[in-house]
Amino acid sequence: MLVAMARKTANDDPLAPVTLAVGQEDLLLDRAVQEVVAAAKAADADTDVRDLTPDQLQPGTLAELTSPSLFAERKVVVVRNAQDLSADTVKDVKAYLGAPAEEITLVLLHAGGAKGKGLLDAARKAGAREVACPKMTKPADRLAFVRAEFRTAGRSATPEACQALVDSIGSDLRELASAVSQLTADIEGTIDEAVVGRYYTGRAEASSFTVADRAVEGRAAEALEALRWSLATGVAPVLITSALAQGVRAIGKLSSARGGRPADLARELGMPPWKIDRVRQQMRGWTPDGVSVALRAVAEADAGVKGSGDDPEYALEKCVVIIARAARSRGRS
């Protein structure tokens, strides 16, 4: 089951006309989308998937995407950050909620809270299937998440192993999920604390995020040195791509946010205030185009380390170089 730890309403059909994913936990939001897309493609392999940001969903766009087709094709329309939609587009979405089209599944991703609450209330009133994707701020929640990941994978891990993984990896759910995936792929039988210690204790979060920090700061040589050390000491490549993705996403989020105090931005972006200050320092050389280039590089590296390429180490090195170059894109011709 793809959406581990996400709470759902009684309507648990991923092909319901409207799915509302509410919260600020990126991994769970992404999994909510993945579950709907997987169900749609299982019903029709030719399903058309449109994944849109608020700036891409202009007034009238939703009507175009959901208009009847001569071929009656199945379609999934994903709207991210629905709380940021313009007032006119919100009117379009509310009108659509009253009469959703057949063979089309609309997925609204909403951060929750006061911003855009009218759309949130309208979707709930219309009977949307709801998936709760809250930030997991408590260690106990992250421990429960790790246990659920092992159960979903059909594998057994001791309580001590689960706790050691949380202690070693930290608070990032993507890294925790990647670590569980790596362990279940590599280890046969019950996963215990000793196994977790060999893989992660005391080094995974520190080393993978060191690679990411140096890369987004434009310090290519230092990032490559940290990367080679991480790989030599056994850090899983998927953890490094996860850290790189998180670093670039943080740059993109903060660069597109309105100015304000770190505490206000922290609430808006779902980052701790100390991280806002760090990312502000890291983002000085970045441009929007640079962020796009870096995100594409991370996606390619992630595919490379997960089997589509022959050399995961080269995929990571190439990604680090591209990110570091993108970090210095401002002011260059």
In a domain? residue 264: yes
Average pLDDT, the chain: 86
In a domain? residue 5: no
Is the confidence at residue 332, as pLDDT, over 70? no
Task: Print the domain residue range for 38.
Answer: 18-133
pLDDT, residue 4, reads 44
Is the confidence at residue 167, as pLDDT, over 80? no
Per-residue pLDDT tens digits for 48-100 = 999 999 999 999 999 999 887 656 678 999 999 999 999 999 999 999 999 99
Is the confidence at residue 124, as pLDDT, over 90? yes
Are 166 and 277 part of one and the same domain?
no
Are 172 and 271 part of one and the same domain?
no
319 — pLDDT class (breaks 50, 70, 90): very high
| Mean of pLDDT values over 106-120 | 95
261 — pLDDT class (breaks 50, 70, 90): low
SS3 sequence of the chain: CCCCCCEECCCCCCCCCEEEEECCCHHHHHHHHHHHHHHHHHHCCCCEEEEECHHHCCCCHHHHHCCCCCCCCCEEEEECCHHHCCHHHHHHHHHHHHCCCCCEEEEEEECCCCCCHHHHHHHHHCCCEEEECCCCCCHHHHHHHHHHHHHHCCCCECHHHHHHHHHHHCCCHHHHHHHHHHHHHHCCCCECHHHHHHHCCCCHHHHHHHHHHHHHCCCHHHHHHHHHHHHHCCCCHHHHHHHHHHHHHHHHHHHHCCCCCHHHHHHHHCCCHHHHHHHHHHHHHCCHHHHHHHHHHHHHHHHHHHHHCCCHHHHHHHHHHHHHHHCCCCCCC
CATH, residue 98: 3.40.50.300
pLDDT, residue 69, reads 67
CATH, residue 255: 1.20.272.10
In a domain? residue 319: yes
Looking at per-residue pLDDT, the higher value among 106 and 210 belongs to 106
Is the confidence at residue 10, as pLDDT, over 60? no
Domain boundary among 83, 115, 133: 133
Are 158 and 110 part of one and the same domain?
no
